A = this chain, B = another copy of it.
Amino acid sequence: MSIKGIFPIDQWDFESESILADLPSGDLELLMARKSEQLYKKGEIIFREGAFPAGIFYIVNGKAKKYKVDGEGREQIIYVANTGELLGYHAILSGDNYPDSAAVLEESLITFIPREDFLDAIKQSDVLNRRLLKTLSHEFAVLANSLTMFAQRSVRERLALQLIVIREKYKVDFEPGQPVEINMGRDDLASLVGTARENVVRMLSEFKEEGVVTTKGRKIIVLDVKKLIKIANYR
């Protein structure tokens, strides 16, 4: 029972299709000519805000967060990237340094593609070019959506919404029909929702009392997606 349709998740998630999926083999070879693979341990940082973008990263397997840290050290998660997604290309295209940091949420296998190879591939490949324009403009719409949510929704509504969205990302790790376990630390969940850890925990207990979610250790299992949609107050 997918929630697409009743809840247009495309509006909340960048990855309606991957940038590299089904790329003409020549273009892909060019891109991957000098790649290097690395296994990141949980919590390891992929790149840091402000650093020179030496290349882009492809998540072969795992999950990563894109985030910003403000003056007081508070972390704000912009996006959670999943297996198959690309990281770090915005900076190379814009000509700025990395505008945000990225770190791995669980043990992840990640491919590094040098800056020059990425730029060459863009020059060569019309498909990649179109794909990037399409992805970037879609990402913009998704982010504008998030912005509106942060500006107008209550913490309770935001938590409900993020649980729906994040559940979809953990779904791929479970057999269809099996309960999806969201294995995310409360601090990360809080910085995704834009509030303090304590508030997330308190509202999770409320959701538990209301029969919307349950927990298994630190893992969160959504019992009633429709109720969550109602709480999120999404038209």
Q: Chain A: residues with CB nearer than 8 A to chain B?
A: 11, 68, 70-71, 74, 76, 78, 89-91, 93-96, 99-100, 122, 129, 132-134, 136-141, 143-148, 150-152, 194, 233-235
Q: A76-B148, A93-B134, A139-B140 are in contact. List 18 more A-B contacts (CB 8 A).
A: A71-B233, A71-B235, A78-B147, A90-B137, A90-B140, A91-B141, A94-B134, A94-B137, A94-B140, A99-B140, A129-B129, A129-B133, A136-B136, A136-B140, A140-B143, A143-B143, A146-B147, A151-B194
Is A141 within 8 A of B96, CB to CB? yes
Q: Which among B132, B138, B150, B233 is the interface contact of A133 at CB below 8 angstroms?
A: B132
CA of A96 to CA of B134 in the docked complex: distance in angstroms?
Answer: 10
Q: Are A96 and B133 in contact (CB under 8 A)?
A: no
Given A74-B152, A99-B141, A146-B147, also A133-B134 (CB < 8 A): no
Measured CB to CB, the closest approach of chain B to A110, in angstroms, equals 20
For A122, list chain B residues within 8 Å (CB): 133
Residues of chain B with a CB closer than 8 A to A100's CB: 141, 144
* Closest beta carbon of chain B to A58's beta carbon, Å: 17
Could you jot down 6 A-B contacts, CB within 8 Å?
A70-B148, A91-B137, A93-B136, A99-B140, A122-B133, A136-B140
State whether B95 touches A144 (Cβ < 8 A): no
Q: Complex: how many Å from CA A139 to CA B137?
A: 10
Query: Least Cβ distance of A114 to chain B in Å?
Result: 18
- Whether A143 lies near B141 (C-beta < 8 A) is no
Chain B residues positioned under 8 Å from A11 (CB to CB)? 99
Residue in A137, A138, A234, A235 whose Cβ sees the most chain B Cβ within 10 Å: A137
Chain B positions within 8 Å of A95 at CB level: 134
Report the minimum CB–CB distance from A122 to chain B (whole Å).
8
Question: Hey, which chain B residues are within 8 Å of A96, CB to CB?
Answer: 138, 141
Q: Is the CB of B136 within 8 A of A78?
A: no
Neighbour of A151 across the interface among B76, B93, B94, CB < 8 A: B76
